Amino acid sequence: MTVTAQKSPSIRSSLTWQKRVSSVLGYTALLLLGFFFLFPTVVMIVLSLQPDETLITQDMGSIWMFIPRAFSLQNYADVFERVDFPLAFGNSVLIVGLTIIFGLFFNSLIAYSLARIQWKGRNFVLAAVVALMIIPFEAIAVPLLKVVNEFGWLDSYHVQIIPFIADAFSIFLFYQFFIGIPKDLEEAAFVDGASRFRMYWQIVVPLSLPVFATVAILQFIFKWGMLLWPLMVTRGPQFMPLPLAMNTLYGQAPFLWGDRFAFAALMTLPTLAIFLIFQKWFVRSVASSGVKG
């Protein structure tokens, strides 16, 4: 007993030391991983503030691409001079905003019907939604272009909105969240005479704000940077979104890296702002999905 008592403090000290080492290694790994994902954004912002194109070329590949040696907003001013940035930004906000708003409503309704209502063909539709998730957009872009061309939708806002309102991945995320919500409240509302839509709107939606935020963020990231479809369906600057305007800038002479970095920074800032605004709900949705799965 005496020997065991004498060894206990040393054992506890060893365990404490191991925990500290493990914590230090864990935090170091997380810091390195965070740096790995953040350094392209840091480089983009730092080089966009460099006033001299020669200085930008020299700083690439050196430590100075993380540390600004000069500050200037000239590259940002050049972006507004070379392309109609306000128009392209407004087009992107309108297209992405309406797509997300209508998508949240209709995709959540579809998911609610799959999660709560038993109807003929439900299992087939659910299987089709899962199957559609693995089909890349590039595989259906040309057939979809032919369809919208037959409708006379080319070079318009709605050709960039309507085809992307229904989204299989969003429906699946809503469905996974809805089936985890207890049915007790809905059953009580049903007894009181509430309709299905009222149960969806007044009970399910308030309980599902985290998944709504998650879907909104993911769809914003996907739609905000979409280039292929606008390139196929727009013919002029009137309906041109930001990715297509950036592609136009890339094809214009003079080919200046500072202007390109500045445009990329201007495109990235709204995405970061959206994530920071909805970060709490996004993390809460991910955490709740992890607990359920």
- Closest among 182, 181, 179, 199 to 190, alpha carbons compared: 199
The predicted structure's pLDDT at residue 96: 95
Helix 85-116 with 74-82: angle, nearest 10 deg: 80
The predicted structure's pLDDT at residue 184: 85
Residue intervals in the chain for CATH 1.10.3720.10: 83-256+268-292
- Token pair 């991945």 is found at 169
Cis peptide before 254 (omega within 30 of 0): yes
Distance CA 5, CA 166 (A): 67
Query: What does the mean pLDDT of the chain come to?
Result: 85
The predicted structure's pLDDT at residue 40: 83
The predicted structure's pLDDT at residue 12: 66
291 has pLDDT over 80 = no
The predicted structure's pLDDT at residue 293: 40
167 has pLDDT over 90 = yes
89 has pLDDT over 90 = yes
pTM of the model: 0.83
The predicted structure's pLDDT at residue 183: 85
Between 47 and 241, whose confidence is greater? 241
Q: Give 124-151 pLDDT, tens digit per residue.
A: 999 999 898 988 898 999 999 999 999 9
Cis peptide before 143 (omega within 30 of 0): no
Between 25 and 60, whose confidence is greater? 25
Distance CA 89, CA 140 (A): 27
The predicted structure's pLDDT at residue 1: 45
The predicted structure's pLDDT at residue 286: 60
Distance CA 55, CA 164 (A): 42
**Backbone dihedral region for residue 152 (phi beyond 0: left; psi -120 to 50: alpha; all else: beta):** left
Domain covering 83-256+268-292, topology: MetI-like fold (1.10.3720)
Q: Give 192-246 pLDDT, tens digit per residue.
A: 888 889 899 988 999 898 899 889 988 998 999 999 999 999 988 899 999 999 9
Tokens describing residue 76 = 């940002």
The answer to whether 103 and 165 are in contact (CB under 8 A) is yes
The predicted structure's pLDDT at residue 149: 93
174 has pLDDT over 80 = yes
Q: Give 212-223 pLDDT, tens digit per residue.
A: 988 998 899 899
288 has pLDDT over 80 = no
